[in-house]
Amino acid sequence: MGILYQPNLTFFIFFTILIRVVVCQRALFVFGDSLVDVGNNNFLNSVAKSNYFPYGIDFNMQPTGRFSNGKTFVDIIGEMMGLPYPSAFADPSTRGAKLLEGVNYASAAAGILDESGQHYGERYSLNQQVVNFETTLDQLRAMMGGDNLTSFLAKSVAVLVFGSNDYINNYLMPSIYSSSFNYNPVQFGNLLLNRYASQLLTLYNLGLRRMFIAGIGPLGCIPNQRAGQATTGRCVDSVNNVLGTFNEGLKSLVDELNKRQGAVVAYGNTYGAVGDILNNPATHVLHIIMKKKMAGFNVVDRGCCGIGRNQGQITCLPFENPCTNRNQYVFWDAFHPTEAVNAILARRAIYGPPLHAYPFNIQQMTLLN
């Protein structure tokens, strides 16, 4: 007589309970570029990587692929929501039950347009990140079934941070890309909006309902752009001026998305929030997540780590010695903010008024049915 196979009943009950708990909660799904990449580019054939010290100097002294001295904007949002850090999609360990904690698809140098940032090598563009999300959904559907997945996605929050590379690593690089010859700033902004809208609708149709879409910050004020200017200390107005069509259009796009059944979509006014920090650096008092207190920023026009004018001509190199007073710097390197600024932006996204999180913030978003 053969041995009768008996499944592990304890494991089955545990797994069933796990699924029931998870679908009653929510996860964080992240799409974007280096501002929110947590290590996807570590697994790609790309020049755009930050998997070396001093990146991560304030993240347990450990470089992870985050383009900051510490936590990213979405890391802090997740902490404030009581959610774990979503794992990088490209990490082979991001599978199984780990997917229930959310996934980060962001990739340094990625843009809304497939060609943006291509001179850095491989990256997950917006289009590819949506395809990667569909791969995750196939795995989740196999784990929890269609109805549970629908409920899980509807309660989860997606954060999207795109657009910077379409300007810095496309439109503003006429020696490599032809976009500035083919489109004026208004036309280019509308091109980005149309492509973005198409994929946002795809994410909605795939089941995501709560989305926080960050606008582009004042790129003319980052050390990389300031470094090429003759006037020291000034932002590059000509760069900032080309962003208006995209940012204003993104706000209007949010209004259109919210007309769809069950959609709860918000626009993050990154330009206004960073502009406020740059214009009033000394007035910002911040309690960082670790309960450390700081009062104001002292350095707004150069990177904490980098080489050349404004520490922005060459970004932070391996084992370079960064500044020691990092909480007093707005910019960590040639392109990216410090953890201190990320903490302010996260608080604006979670709790901010309509000026910074329109038409509602993430806290309000999670409370809406």
Of the ranges 49-53, 54-58, 289-293, 297-301, which one carries the lowest mean pLDDT score?
A: 289-293
At residue 2, the pLDDT reads 44
The count of residues in the chain is 369
- Percent pLDDT > 90 in the chain is 84
pLDDT exceeds cutoff 50 at 366: yes
Which residue in 187, 22, 161 sits closest to 96, CA to CA?
22
For residue range 248-278, list pLDDT tens digits in order: 999 999 999 999 999 999 999 999 999 999 9
Q: Which residues are catalytic?
A: 34, 333, 336
Sheet strands (E) in 79-168: 87-88, 103-104, 157-161
Does the pLDDT of residue 73 top 50, yes or no?
Answer: yes
- Smallest CA-to-CA distance from 106 within 82, 130, 83, 84 is with 130
pLDDT higher for 288 or 259?
A: 259
Q: Which residue has the tokens 């926080």?
A: 212
Predicted confidence at residue 293, as pLDDT, reads: 57
Confidence (pTM): 0.92
Band of residue 311 on the pLDDT scale cut at 50, 70, 90 = confident
CB contact set of 263 (below 8 Å; sequence gap of 6+)? 204, 209, 211, 257
Model confidence at 314: pLDDT above 50:
yes
- Round to whole Å and give the CA distance between 63 and 126: 25
**Beta-bridge mates of residue 158:** 29, 211
Plot region of 109 (φ>0 → left; ψ -120 to 50 → alpha; else → beta): left
Angle CA 148–27–19, to nearest 5: 35
Query: pLDDT band at residue 13, thresholds of 50, 70 and 90?
Result: very low
Q: How many CA atoms lie within 13 A of 51 on its CB side?
A: 13
The residue ranges of every structural domain in the chain are: 28-222+233-280+336-367
Predicted pLDDT of residue 292: 57
Mean pLDDT of 157-172: 98
Task: Tell whether the model's pLDDT for residue 296 goes beyond 60.
Answer: yes
> Which among 33, 126, 116, 128 has a CA at the least distance from the CA of 73?
33
Give the model's pLDDT for residue 284: 74
**Given this model, what pLDDT does residue 3 score?**
43
Sheet holding 87-88, edge to edge: 87-88, 103-104, 28-32, 157-161, 210-214, 264-268, 357-358
User: May I ask the CATH architecture of the domain 28-222+233-280+336-367?
Assistant: 3-Layer(aba) Sandwich (3.40)
Residues 166-188, mean pLDDT to the nearest whole number: 98
pLDDT at 286 over 60: no
- Residue 160 pLDDT > 60: yes
| Over residues 25-43, mean pLDDT | 97
Distance CA 355, CA 157 (A): 21
Q: Is the pLDDT of residue 294 over 70?
A: no
